[in-house]
Chain A
Amino acid sequence: MKIVFKIALGIIAAVGGFLDIGDLVFNTQAGALYGYDLLWAVLLGTLGIAVYAEMSGRVAAVSNRPVFDVIRMRMGFGMGLVALIASTVVNVLTVAAELGGLAIILQLLFDAEFSMFVVAAAFALVAIVALLPFGGIERLFGYGGLLMLVFVATAIHQGPDWGQVAHGFVPNLHDSKLYLYFVVGVFAAALMPYEVHFYSSGGVEEGWDESSLKENRLNAIVGYGLGGILAAALVVASGFLFHPLGIEPNDLGTVALPAQDAYGETGLLLALGGMLFCVGGAAVDSSFAASYNLAQFLGWEWGRYRGPEKAPRFTFSWLLFLSLAVLIVLSGINPVEITEYSVIFAVVALPLTYLPILMIAGDRSFMGEHANGPISAALGWLYLAVIAVLAIAAIPLLLATNGGGG
């Protein structure tokens, strides 16, 4: 009974912790510009993150090795260093985007100076990480993120043409560079590398072993799967309200408008609250991911569970990355723009993270009976092929569409 309860808690945390500022921005813009046509990209991305999170969690549970340990082991120092630099740049940009997003949401709730909220948000994150145990941090943001269910309720309340919504899950391509840019953006926002960095390191933090494999599978498949419903709800709610009006959501605050339109002030507050927890959770995850990667690559002691005394370099690097992110946001760059760049650059770095996971998870000499079966292997290679194509297309599309500006 205790294990069922633990699994249920893990799933709930995964659902609430699935979304970040990249999903909020890209999915809302995708709905506004193309109605329900990009729902298939949400589905594709959700399946992809479930497949690779399960794999990385399985490797962590069986070998006690998180992702960057595996990358260093499989790719060697040189290529590993390239992966580390690329991942760190993307992760720090992501932390900056999430932190900026937190400040915008706080501003929408309390209307004070943006820069003050950036600093306040960073201090609040430090306090939360200092005061709560690892599981507590995950649950705080995961359960808080469940407020995002208001978008599912909104989509249902709006009463869209469900036939058209269902049709959106069938892959379709438009003859437009901007559409392709959003395919890449929506897909990549679901598969941000920090998610697997954090997921596998979190497994080690929580002491996973082979007995945790069922928990890992359910968290990854059911948790991320249900999280995908939240992501799809953003597209539907935005597609229903914004698309017919020709609205181009360029601001994070616009994401909450469908919930306000459906449920008034209560809907608005639930939406802003859900966004706050999702973005806050992602800020913690991505900043931890940057420090996990560095520490694992350089062989330092790492982990929140060890505490600052036993893992001082890990703790210092975490504070350093968070401070860097604060400086980026305070430089005046729009957090939504940082988000778009971090998601698109992440696509380029994706193969460097996912290829080693796929190779090690399929290695029977390393994983024994827990190596990838035929379905996991087929899905893994299929997704790697998709990721490779998108990695090649991402930067040209970014340039051709003027960063999604059309």
Chain B
Amino acid sequence: MRRRGPGLATITAAVAAAIALALAGCGDLSREELNRGVESLSAIAAQGGLIANGVARDATKSTYTRVMAKTLGGEAEHEAEKLADAEPVPDVEEERHAAVRIAGELADLFSELQTFPGDEHHGAVVQEHMAEVKEQADAVVARLTGEPQ
């Protein structure tokens, strides 16, 4: 299966993260807040998976897919910006980076759905990637909470 390179949204999120880090003050993103953010990303990925599944099965309407992808992609980008802007407490820095990357990947996947809302092949590929991204998000949640996935 083809792996996708970093898209515009990923790069934007990474740049936003770098700027935020440069401007940051003391840590204002707690482990719990970061965990909530990553759980939201996992939920968005799950929803994206269902929408992509509809496209893959040719069981949806293009307008619905496009509008939902735009909305959820916007939510993922917003989450990326929020996480990137915040200064994490020291012991979750790595997880914060992972979360920003996940949010960026999600935004890219939704962008792909927006561009190809009626393409079954793209739908299947995006569905698979959504599942992978969800797994990554769940893994970050597991690291943050110390609970197994």
B59 and A253 contact, CB distance less than 8 A: no
Is B20 at the interface (CB under 8 A from chain A)? no
Within the complex, the shortest CB–CB distance from B126 to chain A, in Å, comes to 16
Of A69-77, A166-174, A262-270, the stretch lying at the interface with chain B is A262-270
> Which residues of B (36-76) have their CB < 8 Å from a CB of A?
36, 39-40, 42-43, 46-47, 49-51, 53-54, 57-64, 66-68, 71-72, 75
B46 and A109 contact, CB distance less than 8 A: no
Within the complex, the shortest CB–CB distance from B131 to chain A, in Å, comes to 11
A109 and B63 contact, CB distance less than 8 A: yes
A260 and B63 contact, CB distance less than 8 A: no
A264 and B72 contact, CB distance less than 8 A: no
C-alpha gap A246/B60 in the complex (Å): 22
Which residues of the other chain, B, contact A265 by a CB distance below 8 angstroms?
A: 58-61
Q: Out of B53, B62, B67, which one reaches A107, CB within 8 Å?
A: B67
Within the complex, the shortest CB–CB distance from B86 to chain A, in Å, comes to 16
Q: Mark B71-88, 1 if CB is under 8 A from A, else 0.
A: 110010000000000000
B57, B58, B60: residue with the most chain A Cβ atoms closer than 10 Å: B60
C-alpha gap A386/B141 in the complex (Å): 39
Is A396 at the interface (CB under 8 A from chain B)? no
Question: Chain B binding site: helix, strand, loop or mixed by DSSP?
Answer: helix
Q: Out of A261, A264, A272, A406, which one reaches B50, CB within 8 Å?
A: A261
Given contacts A257-B51, A261-B50, contact A246 B43 (CB under 8 A): yes
Question: Chain A binding site: helix, strand, loop or mixed by DSSP?
Answer: helix
Which residues of the other chain, A, contact B60 by a CB distance below 8 angstroms?
A: 260, 264-265, 268
B42 and A246 contact, CB distance less than 8 A: yes
Which residues of the other chain, A, contact B46 by a CB distance below 8 angstroms?
A: 245-247
Which residues of the other chain, A, contact B66 by a CB distance below 8 angstroms?
A: 111
Which residues of the other chain, A, contact B64 by a CB distance below 8 angstroms?
A: 108-109, 253, 256, 260, 268, 272
Within the complex, the shortest CB–CB distance from B44 to chain A, in Å, comes to 8
Which residues of the other chain, B, contact A256 by a CB distance below 8 angstroms?
A: 64
Which residues of the other chain, A, contact B43 by a CB distance below 8 angstroms?
A: 245-248
B51 and A264 contact, CB distance less than 8 A: no
B68 and A250 contact, CB distance less than 8 A: no
Given contacts A246-B46, A247-B43, A254-B47, contact A111 B67 (CB under 8 A): yes
A250 and B75 contact, CB distance less than 8 A: yes
Is A162 at the interface (CB under 8 A from chain B)? no
C-alpha gap A78/B63 in the complex (Å): 51
Q: When A and B form their complex, which 8 residue pairs have the shortest distance between CB atoms, in order from nearest?
A: A264-B59, A111-B63, A245-B46, A248-B43, A253-B68, A108-B64, A247-B46, A247-B43
Q: 16 A–B contact pairs at CB < 8 A?
A: A107-B63, A108-B63, A108-B67, A111-B67, A245-B47, A245-B49, A245-B50, A247-B50, A248-B40, A251-B71, A251-B72, A253-B64, A253-B71, A257-B47, A261-B53, A268-B54
